[in-house]
Amino acid sequence: MNYKRLSANFISLSSVDSTNNYAANLVKETNVVNGTTILTKRQYSGKGQRGNSWLSEDEKNLIFSVVLFPSITFERVFYLNIMASLAIAKTLKDLGLAVKVKWPNDILIGDKKVAGILIENQLQGQLIKHSIVGIGLNVNQKEFPKEIKATSLFLEMGVEQELEIVFNQFFKYLDFYYDLLEQGNYKVLLSRYYESLYRYQQWSRYSTNETEFFGKIKGIDETGLLIVQTENTVKKFDLKEIAFLR
């Protein structure tokens, strides 16, 4: 089998604005091997989804970005989110935690966020030139601002974790799921994603700009849109078009 193992080329920085930015500059300036990972102890301008910032206490959490050169076309770009979400979810499940992936890629324990993923892709025609998979995983942080519904491994387990051990475990699973992606095993990736998908097949409340409604998540389509059954129809939603209500 043509196994495409990720290179364990880890670059550790004591401080950086954003590991995603650092990785983007690195790819621009040098030849980077597939799997090169930038880790930092302190990130002072961390980026979150939708233009938000990502705050993380110094030295407490895992903050890193992995540079990938996946051979998928851009239509399947959402599988990168699936792959990264599954690698985090599996790492945390091994620790005995009940983890869920909230579409598109928030990692939750209960209804609190334990990790976030920011994937930035550089496209070239129909192909992905490179992809930067940025991950913030709350490990040993003990307090979070009240307005953020966040948690950490410490808060869930009551014991501190070695950052390096958690990271190595994550990287092992990333390698595994990346290989499934490269082999075109989309069905397997999708079925694993559904096993961990928050509110999958459950009636819950949602809202759009226009209305609030009850819906049941039926899955996601090939391009990553969320498929939701409502009382009388089935609709697809983009990230900006739907909000999860309590």
Q: By the criterion CB under 6 A, which residues form the site for ligand BTN?
A: 18-20, 46-49, 52, 54, 63-65, 106, 116-118, 134-136
Q: Name 205's bridge partners.
A: 214
Cβ 163 to ligand BTN, closest distance in Å?
A: 13
Q: Is the Cβ–Cβ distance between 218 and 211 less than 8 Å?
A: no
Cβ-closest position to ligand BTN: 116
Cβ 54 to ligand BTN, closest distance in Å?
A: 4
Identity of the residue, 48 or 219, whose beta carbon is nearer to ligand BTN in the bound complex: 48
Identity of the residue, 28 or 71, whose beta carbon is nearer to ligand BTN in the bound complex: 28
Tell me if residue 58 falls in helix, strand or coil: coil
Q: For residues 194 and 196, what is the distance between their CA atoms, to the nearest angstrom?
A: 5
Two tokens at 39? 């880790």
Identity of the residue, 116 or 224, whose beta carbon is nearer to ligand BTN in the bound complex: 116
Residues in the chain: 246
Cβ 214 to ligand BTN, closest distance in Å?
A: 26
The DSSP annotation for 67-89 comes to EE----BGGGTHHHHHHHHHHHH
Q: For residues 244 and 216, what is the distance between their CA atoms, to the nearest angstrom?
A: 11
Identity of the residue, 7 or 52, whose beta carbon is nearer to ligand BTN in the bound complex: 52
Q: Is the Cβ–Cβ distance between 26 and 38 less than 8 Å?
A: yes
Cβ 235 to ligand BTN, closest distance in Å?
A: 24
Cβ 210 to ligand BTN, closest distance in Å?
A: 25
Identity of the residue, 125 or 145, whose beta carbon is nearer to ligand BTN in the bound complex: 145
